[in-house]
Amino acid sequence: MSRLRAVLATALLLGLAGCSTVPMTSSTVQITQAPGRPAEVVGIEPLAPEPGAAPEDIVKSFIDAAASTRFGHPVAREHLTEEAARAWDDETGIRVIGQEYATTVMPDSGTVEVTANVIGTIDDRGVFTIAEGTTLTQQYTLEQVDDEWRISDPPDGLIILEPDFQRLYEEAALYFVDPTGSRLVPDPRYVLAGEALPTTIVERLVSGPSPYLAAGVGNRLAGAQLRSAVTLDGQLAVVDLTNLPAEASPALNAAAAQLVWTLTSLRNVSINSVEVRIDGEPVPIDDVPDEQTTDHWSGFNPDAVPLETVGHYLTGGALHTVTTGEPTPGPAGAGAYGLTEAAVSVDGASGELSFLVGVRPEASGASLLAGPYDGELAPVLSGARLTSPTVAATRPEVWVVRDDSSVVRVQAGGPPQAVTAPTLPGLGATRVLRLSPDGVRAALIVEGPTGRALQVGTVVRAEDGSVALRDFRAIAPTLSRVVDVAWRDSGTLLVLAGDAGEDRVVPYSVGVDGWGLTQIPRSGLPGQPQSIAAAPARQPLVSANGTIWQLAGGTWVTLVRGQEPLPGMAPFYPL
């Protein structure tokens, strides 16, 4: 999965396999084999408490000591009373706080209070949950031990400064299988970087998806166990599993694809190929060598898009493409329907643009028209208000939200069907809904009492054919005046939202879990962007001041270089 987020800076190499987790304990078997490379520790470990340090300085030093790569955080325990050091559990999760925090010494109470802005939390499986905009207030009681101040009641888990978290922890994408069984879906996790990272990542992969994603994906490695630590031979990773059927099957293919895509996507460990073994023997997969690469599993590519995925937009109610600025074939391109929004689905078998839907304003509200890409369109749905339609690359269907709360999907050639989303109305009025390229997630802009907020939900498909949208989580809560959202790839969102420092709308990039919010330059834009479109390996598009622009090299440029901007609105990419 390609990522825009400037997430984790320099990685810290570790020497102990047992301390490369979040650091939480979750392995299902005892791994007795050490990593295959020499142990090495690089970086700066925190300092022990200074003799004679004041209570406030002991608390600050204790927080600094969370930035340690050593198992059990022994330096942090030196800041505690003997009893507290024995009882303190450093493996129950992490709270990431801003670098600037306040300490207050409470008079005559032996207590120091810490107040900090919380960036987010990491659970014992490495799952990040955004918490920006919330405040941590934590009190520490201190006692005199041999004339030195020590903390007697530390909160379990780690409180770590954001720069230290960026320095020590790596974001890794774990890949699970979408409901079609043919595409992988990323599930970001955060673990300490180092030699044991591949082993930790495979343990996390075997243990399953995060709670937010679990209902929407499958895990073909469920029930498997690692027989030994993952070993590296140059850029080859060897994974030896047990409790996994060794017979050739689609499930085994998907399991191998999960492992290969997950391990080769690690940033700070150079892995180009993976050998998957079951009970010591290479897996028997036809036409796939023992040393597997993502090329062998390209059919599972989480960010695959059809070759026909070229940008489209509307101008004067007519459908155009960004390649030439010319209208598309058929009545929609001729402006016969006066469309204000549109979406196109690509036929998975032929790779051709096939299913077109568009929104047409009506006196009573709006109608959704559907039909062949270059043919006649017919009304299939109406409402007082319809959101911009959205498609995914895995199914020939289009989703819209009717009257701010009812999610509806329309399959090519079929009638509209309701998508169950019982908790969505409670969040507010849904103004925008965008399916992820894999169709497993949906990004929504929901307008509630405090304004427009960005949410991500999971698409859950039942065996009886019913579909639900659930497990919503807030993303980038610090953004205000959220205007539009698009999927840059299967794990990254592009968002148009208000700039906190100025009265303007700017583009942002943010991870699907809310980590790595980054402002994208708006250089070249003639004014406020109103809508945004994106697709994997394609240049993002925006409409601004009634014209269409594309992002190239950090600057927004016209569709035809050196020429005037083309008039247009509502850009999108077919999938």
Q: Specify the pLDDT at position 29.
A: 37
Query: How sure is the predictor about 399, in pLDDT bands with cuts at 50, 70 and 90?
Result: very high
Inform me whether the pLDDT recorded for 363 exceeds 80: yes
Q: What is the pLDDT of residue 2?
A: 36
Question: Is residue 45 over pLDDT 70?
Answer: yes
Question: Distance (Å, rounded) from C-alpha 430 to C-alpha 453?
Answer: 10
Q: How far is CA 434 from CA 109, 240, 409, 539, 544, in A?
A: 53, 39, 12, 17, 20
What's the predicted TM-score (pTM) here? 0.90
Q: Inform me whether the pLDDT recorded for 238 exceeds 70.
A: yes
* Main-chain dihedrals φ then ψ at residue 255, nearest 5 degrees: -60, -45
**CA dist., res. 116 & res. 539, Å (int):** 38
Residue 40 has pLDDT above 50, yes or no: no
Q: How far from 536 is each of 123, 307, 395, 453, 559, CA to CA, in Å?
A: 29, 11, 17, 24, 18
- 312-572 architecture in CATH? 6 Propeller (2.120)
Q: How confident is the model at residue 17 (pLDDT cuts 50, 70, 90)?
A: very low
Q: Would you kindly state where each structural domain of the chain is located, as residue ranges? A: 172-300, 312-572
Residues sharing a CB contact under 8 Å with residue 212, sequence separation 6 or more, in sequence order: 127, 456, 458, 471, 473, 513
Q: What pLDDT, on a 0 to 100 scale, did the predictor assign at position 231? A: 96
Taking residue 159's Cβ as centre, other Cβ atoms within 10 Å add up to 19
Q: What is the DSSP string of 257-296?
A: HHHHHHHHT-SSS---EEEEEETTEE---TT--SEE-GGG
Specify the pLDDT at position 13.
27
325-335 tens-digit pLDDT = 899 999 999 99
pLDDT at residue 317 tops 90: yes
Do the bridges between strand 236-242 and strand 390-392 make them parallel or antiparallel, or are there none, so unpaired?
A: unpaired
pLDDT > 90: percent of the chain? 83
Mean pLDDT of 543-564: 93
Mean local confidence (pLDDT), 448-467:
95
pLDDT of residue 3 exceeding 80: no
